[in-house]
Chain A
Amino acid sequence: GQQLNQSPQSMFIQEGEDVSMNCTSSSIFNTWLWYKQDPGEGPVLLIALYKAGELTSNGRLTAQFGITRKDSFLNISASIPSDVGIYFCAGQKSGNTPLVFGKGTRLSVIA
């Protein structure tokens, strides 16, 4: 099935560094979502974006909904060890259509 293009696939960073990851699609989505998944758990919603151009923050996390509606990025500032995990972007075309996920970005934080 369709999946969004998410990059980078993995990242190794030092504690305290900022992180940026992004997600692109060949088609338009009207909602963009960012999830974090820890081992053995289901994804947990971090940020939801509903409007093109929207920039939304949740603590140290900031995400933007691209103007073209075909991309989104997630920034994490001042990373800490508990940021370790897999981050997924997801797009939704309309309110009653399924979520389409990226393949994930695996983040490792070196203390």
Chain B
Amino acid sequence: GAGVSQTPSNKVTEKGKYVELRCDPISGHTALYWYRQSLGQGPEFLIYFQGTGAADDSGLPNDRFFAVRPEGSVSTLKIQRTERGDSAVYLCASSLTKSADTQYFGPGTRLTVL
């Protein structure tokens, strides 16, 4: 079956612009996670959804970052007023029911803020 997919694979934007990154989890997976991976670093947790609700958003760095999952499947990570420091690979993962289950990662979206 299909794995986690993310679009776009690459996004280049200018400082101050708004961007949306999309994640399609594995069908039937109720838990969804967003991570950010800077160059030379491991992934860092941003937010975790259980169904439609954000169960843990403690990793969001500030209020410019927001994520939704309105129907409990596809999720969108939204970044307002982008800054150069937002440049990173944004990874999405899903797991069957809860975060203790194996998390399957997508290929990521590489965001570059000029």
Contacts and interface: CB of A to CB of B under 8 A. Distances in A.
B98 interface: yes
Interface residues of B, number: 25
B43 interface: yes
Interface stretch (A43-51, A63-71, A73-81): A43-51
A42 B44 contact: no
Contact of A99 (B4, B41, B45, B107): B45
Contacts of A103: 40-42
Interface residues of A, number: 26
Contact of A43 (B43, B48, B98): B43
Contacts, number: 68
Chief secondary structure at chain B's binding surface: loop
A42 B100 CA distance: 18
Contacts of B98: 95-96
Contact of B4 (A3, A42, A88, A97): A42
Interface of B: 4, 33, 40-45, 48, 55-56, 58-59, 91, 93, 98-100, 102-108
B99 A96 contact: yes
Most chain A CB neighbours (cut-off 10 Å) among B93, B105, B106: B105
A41 B65 CA distance: 23
B99 A92 contact: yes
B42 A44 contact: no
A100 interface: yes
Contacts of A99: 33, 43, 45, 99, 103
B44 A96 contact: no
Contacts of A90: 42
Given A1-B44, A103-B40, A103-B42, A42 B107 contact: yes
